[in-house]
Amino acid sequence: MNTYPPPPVTFVRGSGSRLWDAEGRVYLDLVGGVAVCALGHAHPAVADALAEQARTLLHVSNLYGTTVGPEVAATLDRLIDAGGGAVFFCNSGAEANECAIKLARKWGRSQGGARGAARGGARGGAPGGARYAVVSAERSFHGRTLATLHATGQPLRHAPFKPLPEGFRHVPFGDLGALATALAAPDVAAVLLEAVQGEGGVYAAPPGYLEGARRLCDEAGVLLMMDEVQTGLGRTGRWFGFQRAGIRPDVVTVAKALGNGVPVGACWARSDVAAAFVPGDHATTLGGQPLAAAAARAVLRVMEAEEAPARAAAAGARLAAGLRTVPGVTEVRGWGLLLGAELGGDGARTAPEVAAAALAAGLLVNPVQPTILRFVPSLLVRDEEIDEAIEILRKVAA
């Protein structure tokens, strides 16, 4: 269907941070499948895991148990919260956020008032316990299903698909006063935030914002849900972006890098919150099936062995320093290897123009907004590859 513009190039092979097109030309990739290929293309550990699992067991449905998924769930639980939670597996970031939204509504109906009282909240739920609303941020992006689209704080994306599901409100990102006002409504069940707004233009949470959001959610007796679909698993220089603020969310969603190209997502929740779900409340045919779980297990093993967060922090610092030397770059934002370069000044080329010129020169970068280039390369990108990319950008941006 006509949902994407015509592709400017067709790729047939990849290895590490390199791609080859149908004509045999080689490219340096700083897009990484939009933060998906965190270990680079065709990582041998992931390829071997997929091949072995494909010869062993592909799918039996969630009516029966398998052995790989529980191991992946335990690893995610440890990395997110040092244990103490439960995981639902799905196939994408949008589905992970759908799970979080449904869990918040079920929790808000069944346990919201009790938790508010237990946490010292000044109020219980709405009349009848009907807590269902989710507060998210302007400029945010949470997915393209109808519910996650409305959670997304970008009205232009809403317009073609109205009416959208009710129960979503938006406040300015970084504004604790606006968030406090929104949480005064008695029907709010949860707050959904990104640590860095990637699709919105690479805007990191201001200092103190996530800590303040945690405090406000505690005071109001509502859930704090972190969308770590793009920021999670080492991308920001920590395993998860929220960890930079030293907070403990109630719900965390993950996808993208988890499969390194294999579709897999996960919604983690603290055990007492996850207990709101009972059999029949939520399900998926393919979520957590052995092939996707085998890929995720291999990804997590390599990430831990390679100390991916530390590598992202070091490589991100090098990339950010280089971007500041590129003509027309007025600001570099972000954490780790989730960076945005703002373009401006007299005669500066637009982000799409720079991206097109870079592609012609053999470099993939992402024009996420008209004046913003986004960089989300492999977390294993080498120093010499970063330097090569900066040299190309200097030439094409001039």
For CA atoms 283, 149, 368, 237, the dihedral sign is negative
Query: Active site includes 173?
Result: no
Token pair of 47, please? 């390829």
Pairwise CA distance, residues 341 & 146, whole Å: 31
Active-site residue identified among 227, 242, 277, 375: 227
Pairwise CA distance, residues 289 & 259, whole Å: 12
Active-site residue identified among 77, 168, 173, 256: 256
Residues 6+ apart with CB under 8 A from 323: 329, 332, 339, 341, 375, 390, 393
Residues 6+ apart with CB under 8 A from 109: 129, 130, 131, 132
| Residue 107: C-alpha distances to residues 114, 191, 350 (Å) | 10, 13, 45
324, containing H or E segment = none
The number of beta carbons lying within 10 Å of the beta carbon of residue 127 is 8
Query: Active site includes 141?
Result: yes
CA 41 to chain centre: 19
Query: Active site includes 227?
Result: yes
47 and 13 in contact (C-beta within 8 Å)?
no
HSE toward the beta carbon, residue 363, CA cutoff 13 A:
27
268 and 248 in contact (C-beta within 8 Å)?
no
Active-site residue identified among 89, 141, 173, 242: 141
* Positions marked catalytic: 141, 227, 256
